[in-house]
Amino acid sequence: TLTTFLSAVLAIICTFHTVQAQTNAQNAYVSAIDQDLAVKKIVLVPTTDNVGGIYARPVDEELQNALNDDKQWSLSVYPKDLNLKPEFLDERPQDVKAILQNSQSEAALSTRIIRGPKGISVTMTLFVGREGLPLLQEAASDLKSFETAQIRAEARRLFENIKSRMPFRGVIMSRR
């Protein structure tokens, strides 16, 4: 009798907790902003420069290494069949959306290098979300060194700065 009563109460409690957990999982609300900022996969847009790729190729290698070493983001392959000009992504959100959709990524990282009379300028932009708009941008201008090792190091620094400026760096599993 007492054992039967305790068994029945235990069964009711277990059933209640199972139903409550299923209901919470089904009713989980994730805002559009949280979805845009929850970056798991990132695509590296080919770097552009105005000197025939002298700086672009080493910077791409450096950024690929940085993303491969990264424990939070995984690197997606850039879709080769897209015929887009990476230097105009700031002005063409529809191109960013096409890149994100075709690579099945939540973010795209674009880098532009310009060698001018005063030195080298490097601009790195992180695009996220369904709108295809830039979220973060880092830049270094008038770099006096023209050596590729120095430009690679600067690209790594800009990447780390962008990564550290992300609004949050983890995935919230529960709000309890």
Tens digit of pLDDT for each residue in 105-152?
999 999 999 999 989 999 999 999 878 889 999 999 988 888 999 999
Q: Which two tokens stand for residue 119?
A: 């030195």
The pLDDT, as a whole number, for residue 57 is 95
145: nearest Cα among 123, 110, 121? 121
How far apart, in whole angstroms, are the C-alpha atoms of residue 80 and residue 119?
31
Q: What are phi and psi of 114, to 5 degrees?
A: -125, 125
Tens digit of pLDDT for each residue in 158-171?
999 999 988 765 55
* Polymer length of the chain: 176
User: CB neighbours of 161 closer than 8 A, spacing ≥ 6?
Assistant: 138
Contact between 131 and 162 under an 8 Å Cβ cutoff? The reply is: no
Contact between 64 and 78 under an 8 Å Cβ cutoff? The reply is: no
Give the residue, 77 or 12, on which the prediction is more confident: 77
The pLDDT, as a whole number, for residue 33 is 62
Is the pTM higher than 0.75? The answer reads yes
